[in-house]
Amino acid sequence: MHHRKPPFIIPIFLPHQGCPHQCAFCNQNRISGAPSGLLSKSALTEEINRYLSFERDKEKEVQIAFYGGNFLGLPLPSIISLLDEAEKFIQAGPVNSIRFSTRPDTINDQLLDQLTNYAVSTIELGAQSMDDQILALSNRGHTANDTFRAASLIQEKKFHLGLQMMTGLPGDNGKQSIETAHRIAALSPDFVRIYPTVVLSGSPLARSFKKGEYNPMPLEESVKLVAKIYSLFMEKNIPVIRMGLQASDGLEDHESILAGPYHPAFGHLVFSEIFLEKIKLQLRNRKDVSGRCLILYVHSTSISKIRGLNNQNITTVKNLFQLKSIRVLADDSIPKDQLTVDIHG
């Protein structure tokens, strides 16, 4: 991303709006907690003003984000009307830019040219997978090629490009997700989001799950897979801005998730997994660590990540290498994703 700080986002949900059909994994009404139907102009204005009234970091740029549906799949008059309303706030000053998420097969030259009249800075594509067989099994109704084409067009027109991918979709045993991540990285997006597939009640996937035709990926396996994918994007300097659905995605009511690798701190689990691998790597090359005391130095913001949930990493490493004790100490001269190892005694 080209900004110093991530923007302050005003999310406007358009559940299922513009979607040609229901994708297997989706129950969009459930996710955003809003009934279908386009916002009226007054409701949209009211919602934007509500967010603008919040206490916030005044240095951050402010972005209106249209999420949840398929923005460019809306009838053109609706797109124009929503953009016109958002643009009023930009002209008046409190808002800097607009972003939205849309399906790859809605992107074309004409539509993108219309957007240049507005302060649209970022377009997110729901790629989900770059494997045509998996896309077909999820009833996505578009191909990987649509995503390649859309991404190139968006970049050609100088918009920021975000790509969303999902792991553990029907037909994916992890290998396909890694392949998708490589293909997405090759498109050089400005950022990505990684969503492990969960079974939402009322989704077509819920029916397959109940019939025993679909088994979601277990949490631990999912965390390990996403950790690999995260590291792959990091190597290519592509920021990962979200891992796993969060309660703020409208998942407050847990009965909406029937099964699958949902965890309220999924991203935290991934970082812990990455640190665990780093500790193991460092200790495997050291002779005779058993019975000794280990000190791990990390940046203060990474202490909870290196410890893992309920100190799990510490316990695992202690048992694995038969250490006498492990201490974690803060050292803010160390980069946030690194650690230094010291062995005593």
pLDDT of residue 67: 87
- pLDDT(182) > 70: yes
3-state SS, one letter per residue, for 63-88 = EEEEECCCHHHCCHHHHHHHHHHHHH
pLDDT tens-digit map of 274-298: 999 999 999 998 888 999 999 999 9
pLDDT band at 308 (very low <50, low <70, confident <90, very high): very high
Global pTM reads 0.90
Distance CA 244, CA 101 (A): 17
pLDDT band at 1 (very low <50, low <70, confident <90, very high): very low
Quick check: 146 and 105 in contact, CB under 8 A? yes
- pLDDT(80) > 90: yes
Distance CA 311, CA 28 (A): 36
Who wins on pLDDT, 39 or 37? 39
Per cent of the chain over pLDDT 70 is 92
pLDDT band at 18 (very low <50, low <70, confident <90, very high): confident
Quick check: 297 and 334 in contact, CB under 8 A? yes
pLDDT band at 70 (very low <50, low <70, confident <90, very high): confident
Quick check: 198 and 260 in contact, CB under 8 A? yes
pLDDT tens-digit map of 210-268: 999 999 999 999 999 999 999 999 999 999 999 998 765 555 555 688 899 999 899 99
- What residue ranges do the domains of the chain occupy? 8-263, 271-344
pLDDT of residue 255: 60
One-letter amino acid of 316: T
Per cent of the chain over pLDDT 90 is 75
Looking at the domain that runs over 8-263, which CATH code has it been given? 3.20.20.70
